[in-house]
Amino acid sequence: MIARTEEYRPWLVQKYGGTSVGKLLDTITASIIPQYLKDYNVAVICSARSSASKSAGTTSLLLKALACAVSEDASTVDFDEVVDIIQSEHLLVAASLPNESALQSASKIIQLLRQKIIKECEALRRFLRATQVIGEASDRAQDKVLGVGEKLSCLVVAAALSLRGVEAEMVNLENIVQTADKRSTREQQAAYKQNPILYLQGLRDAVKDAILRCSATGKIPVVTGFFGSMPHSLLHTIGRGYSDLCAALCAVSLDAEELQIWKEVAGIFTADPTKVSTARVLPMITLEEAVELTYYGSEVIHPLTMSLLNKEDINLRLKNVKDPAGAGTVVYSTTPSPSPVQAPNSTEMEISRSLFMTSNGYYGKDQAKRVPTAITAKDLITLVNITSNGKLPPPAFLGQIIGILGQHQLSVDLASSSRQSLSLAVSAYGLVNVSDSIEEALSELEEFGSASIVPKMSIISVVGHKMKNMVGIAAEIFSALASARINIHLISQGASEINISFVVRTQDALLAMEVIHSQVMRIPGHAEREISLIRGEP
């Protein structure tokens, strides 16, 4: 790491979610961002704003407007009405921004913001009218529409900062893929499919140039969390977590000291606090653990975001917009930097990291953790049991079954097999109806054997770094479940050294999490805490 001096300030990338921008704009622009400007060059990444929830946010409204534009149903709401809602909401925000009398240009900033909002919404209307004439929306069309949400959000944040005396400007990344990659769409799709991380790394120079052009003018870059038309479409390729991935891409491009993702929660918890009342905030967690938690039900961060940061050895910190002074959760990479060149302060950095890891329960050279880190649950799981009729040899049988499920947009999350039978924990991806998809798949599966399903199941995943080194941990988990009289329908261990997963009935999932949280992870309940306090114990 280069030492911070008067001449040099490292980059810090901060990403703010849509609901944070929608509900806590003043806190972000008046308090959080300004406090970092003395020590860092700050790049701000924004999601499309939401005043209450994602389902009622700008991105959802934009998708609705696009659906209205291509709908043949006469009763469908006119897309103009949806655009009116988007425009009026953002104009209301512009009107509510503080108009400081000490800043002579304040009224001009607000007036310019209003003009830009109206201009973006009018451009959206024209595009939707053209889409309506065609009668269908391509992947590129969907990307074009979705990008409006992030642009509007960034315009608002940049104006709010400028009104606070911090000059800022929107950096629009909606065309960054086309700027960086001149290949055909087919070639882009093939490259992304072969190696998503390598493909994303190929965008870094274009992203860096766009941000530095803004920074060179002395303004804070406020970057759209929507970064262009990816192969297929950004929403289809990445999903709704694309703004997190954009923030990671910016951090990698700028060789940032840290990526901060600001949410409205204190950090990553040992369990979902809405399900387990004794859940605690984790001061730190490894990237590998965070990826597992994300995949198996916790809304932590997009897996590709983790992988991209891990490749570049950049730390991630989750912070709480409602408690800016809180430490949050640090997500550390456990993969050493690929660079053979040792930075001047590398020894001190490694010692500091080692002490931090040790103080949070990670021990030894391999950073093994003595108890599991966290537990999570993934609902809406269906258990599919198949016994082979002998038509296919075992390897072909497994491949054929998984292939059939994939054709019906069903994902196999866990599997247990013998030579003649398979038990699969299956979930749906996309917008398909789980029950309908499984029923359709069953008729095809029965060609290769007898098949049955068990609906209303949940996957419980116990995650801990190097957990395979925890001798007896599986016995502890299953003993805890047995004490609560919870039956296990499928067990998976070995594919990941940091995860033990099993399937239980959804009605038992909450109890399963609670008993493992208290008995295996040894996090006391409220009663135990009160007794400890009475005894004067920590």
The residue written with tokens 């052009």 in the block is 213
Least confident segment among 59-68, 137-146, 254-263, 337-346: 337-346
Q: What is the 3-state secondary structure (H, E, C) of 290-308?
A: HHHHHHCCCCCCCHHHHHH
Asked if residue 342 has pLDDT above 60, the reply is no
Split at pLDDT 50, 70, 90, the class of 361 is low
Contact (Cβ atoms closer than 8 angstroms) between residue 99 and residue 113: no
Q: What is the distance between the alpha carbons of residues 522 and 525, in angstroms, rounded to a whole number?
A: 9
pLDDT for residue 261: 94
Q: Which range has the worst mean pLDDT, 188-192, 330-334, 371-375?
A: 330-334
- Report the pLDDT value the prediction gives residue 469, as an integer from 0 to 100: 67
Reported as a pLDDT band with limits 50, 70 and 90, residue 494 is low
Quick check: 85 pLDDT over 70?
yes
Whether residue 516 has pLDDT greater than 60: yes
User: Mean per-residue pLDDT for 191-218?
Assistant: 93
| 449-466 per-position pLDDT tens digit | 898 999 999 999 999 877
Question: According to the model, what pLDDT value does residue 4 have?
Answer: 47
pLDDT for 304? 83
Q: Are 312 and 319 in contact (CB under 8 A)?
A: no
pLDDT digits (tens, 9 = 90+) for 267-298: 889 999 889 988 999 998 888 888 888 777 66
The architecture (CATH level 2) of 11-264 comes to 3-Layer(aba) Sandwich (3.40)
Coil vs helix vs strand at 499: strand
pLDDT above 50 for 260: yes
pLDDT class of 420 with cuts at 50, 70, 90:
confident
Q: Domain segments of the chain: what residues?
A: 11-264
Q: Which of 69-73, 390-394, 421-425 shows the highest mean pLDDT?
A: 421-425
**In this structure, what are the phi and psi dihedrals at residue 229, rounded to the nearest 5 degrees?**
-85, 100
According to DSSP, the residues that pair with 422 across neighbouring strands are 386, 417
pLDDT band for 130, please (50, 70, 90 cuts). Answer: very high
Tell me how many degrees the CA angle 202-11-167 measures, rounded to the nearest 5.
110
Asked if residue 13 has pLDDT above 60, the reply is yes
Looking at residue 2, its pLDDT comes to 42
What percentage of the chain carries pLDDT values higher than 90? 44
CB 337 within 8 A of CB 349: no
Q: Residue 268 and residue 299: Cα distance in Å, rounded?
A: 9
In 437-489, the DSSP E strands lie at 449-463
Cβ–Cβ under 8 Å, residues 23 and 364: no
pLDDT for 344 beyond 50: no
Q: What is the mean pLDDT of residues 407-430?
A: 84
Name the residue among 177, 179, 169 with its Cα closest to residue 223: 169
What is residue 381's predicted lDDT score, i.e. its pLDDT?
Answer: 92
CA dihedral defined by 261, 357, 287, 342, rounded to 10 degrees?
Answer: 90
What is the four-CA torsion angle of 526, 529, 533, 538, rounded to 10 degrees?
-150
Of 143-152, 341-350, 461-470, the one with minimum mean pLDDT is: 341-350
Give the lowest-confidence range in 154-163, 212-221, 394-403: 394-403
Q: How far apart are CA 147 and CA 143, in angstroms?
A: 6
Question: Mean pLDDT lowest for which of 122-126, 224-228, 394-398?
Answer: 394-398
| Average per-residue pLDDT for the chain | 84
